[in-house]
Amino acid sequence: MLATTLQGVRDIRFTTVPDPEISRPTDAIVKVAASCICGSDLWNYRGENSIRPGMTIGHECLGIVEEVGGEVSSFRPGDFVIVPFCHSDNTCPACRAGVTSACVDGGFTVSGQGEYARVNHADGSLVAIPADPAPELLASLLALTDVMATGWHAAVSAGVRPGGTAVVVGDGAVGLCGVLAAATLGAARVVAMSRHAPRQALARRFGATDIVASRGEQGEAEVLELTDGVGADAVLECVGTDETMRTAFAVARAGATVGFVGVPHGVNLPVRRMFDRNIGLAGGVAPVRAYLPELLPLVLGGAIDPGQVFDATLPLAESAEGYRLMDEREAIKVFLQP
């Protein structure tokens, strides 16, 4: 098959790789109908993570079931499915606790930006959607494979409550979905920290009541001013750097929780501030499958439209250009068509 591969730092190529195959009876092969580039893919693209030349890349996709293993009972070829980026059996202790992303026998989508992807534990991972979904729904359904569920996880982990104040640190697609999640969960005030006009506009559409364009100590001071010096009831950290994590704790009120979903790189937690002000930290890899029963009806019913985070569309064969656009912040998130 043809798939997006990473050959080296900022070296993306659309090349021929072996087709994924059924390796266990719980597997399924999905023909990709829509995929996209994730902000976390950029860590590999920029060389921040280790690279194996020729590795396939891409973990967000929708598709049609092509083949199933002998033990798969809930899906059959032809089913249109959402593929959560993290696979799970949905029966182990972690899954039963709602943390499907930590399944003891889990896996991850590794060729979502290709023609086919293998899903282990198809019965526990995949979620069927109406056959031939309306074209206008595809983007929002695709967002459920990771980015919307991840923003939701940040909001839930931070303890967003009706009537409260939430601050979202980060204006990438996850941060913007965090804004949408906080507003949907009933926060009366949602502060988006963003200094990019197009992202600020989308944050407003998603429910942000306030925008703080400054970063660092100045941004923190502006958030505290907005909250009368108290800080936010819930903070969503959606980037993963030391600076953004410190900002998150600086703007959290005493007793609040920081919900973190940004993949951490070089983070040193301000433990003394956490201790002195009883500020908690929760979150991590989003348990996408656990949230889909709640999020899918919101999309199908038109209550949320997270697909608006896609502001560029390219053929899958031009994925390298999509990476460039996101790397240079010319696009928030790139939708890839087969």
pLDDT one-digit tens code per residue, 292-335: 999 999 999 999 999 999 999 999 999 999 999 999 999 999 99
Instruction: Give mean pLDDT, residues 174-198.
Output: 98
Tell me, yes or no, whether 186 and 249 share the same domain.
yes
- Please name which of 155, 152, 306 lies closest in space to residue 236, comparing C-alpha atoms: 155
Tell me, yes or no, whether 185 and 255 share the same domain.
yes
Instruction: Give mean pLDDT, residues 33-44.
Output: 96
Residue 136 pLDDT level (bands cut at 50, 70, 90): very high
Of 268, 283, 298, which closes a domain? 283
Tell me, yes or no, whether 209 and 267 share the same domain.
yes
What ranges make up the beta strands (E) of the chain? 2-8, 11-16, 28-36, 55-56, 61-68, 80-83, 86-87, 107-108, 116-119, 127-128, 165-169, 189-193, 210-212, 232-237, 252-260, 280-283, 312-315, 334-337
Of 248, 263, 283, which closes a domain? 283
Query: What is the predicted pLDDT for the residue at 130?
Result: 84
Tell me, yes or no, whether 168 and 120 share the same domain.
no
Number of domains making up the chain:
2
Tell me, yes or no, whether 235 and 142 share the same domain.
no
Query: What is the predicted pLDDT for the residue at 132?
Result: 81
CATH number for 258: 3.40.50.720
Query: What is the predicted pLDDT for the residue at 82?
Result: 98
Tell me, yes or no, whether 51 and 68 share the same domain.
yes
Tell me, yes or no, whether 108 and 51 share the same domain.
yes
Tell me, yes or no, whether 235 and 328 share the same domain.
no
Distances (CA, A) of 326 to 108, 135, 172, 317, 321: 22, 24, 10, 16, 9
Residue 123 pLDDT level (bands cut at 50, 70, 90): very high
Query: What is the predicted pLDDT for the residue at 214?
Result: 97
Residue 177 pLDDT level (bands cut at 50, 70, 90): very high
Structural domain including 215 reads 148-283
